Amino acid sequence: MAHSEADIEYMRRAIELARRGTGFTNPNPLVGAVLVRNGEIIAEGWHARCGDLHAERAALANCRARNISPEGATLYVTLEPCCHTGKQPPCTEAVIESGIAHVVVGSTDPNPLVAGRGCEIVRVPEHDGRIDLRQLMAALGKRGIDSVFIEGGATLAACALEAGIVNHVQAFIAPKIFAGVGAPSPLGGTGVESPDQAWMLSATTVERIGDDVLIEGDIVASANAAPEHATTAHDDEIANAAPKEDACSQD
User: Which residues are annotated as catalytic?
Assistant: 56
Which three-class secondary structure string do you get for the chain?
CCCCHHHHHHHHHHHHHHHHHCCCCCCCCCCEEEEEECCEEEEEEECCCCCCCCHHHHHHHHHHHCCCCCCCCEEEECCCCCCCCCCCCCHHHHHHHHCCCEEEECCCCCCCCCCCHHHEEECCCEECCEECHHHHHHHHHHCCCCCCCCCCCHHHHHHHHHHCCCCEEEEEECCCCCCCCCCCCCCCCCCCCCHHHCCCEEEEEEEEECCEEEEEEEECCCCCCCHHHCCCCCHHHEEECCCCCCCCCCC
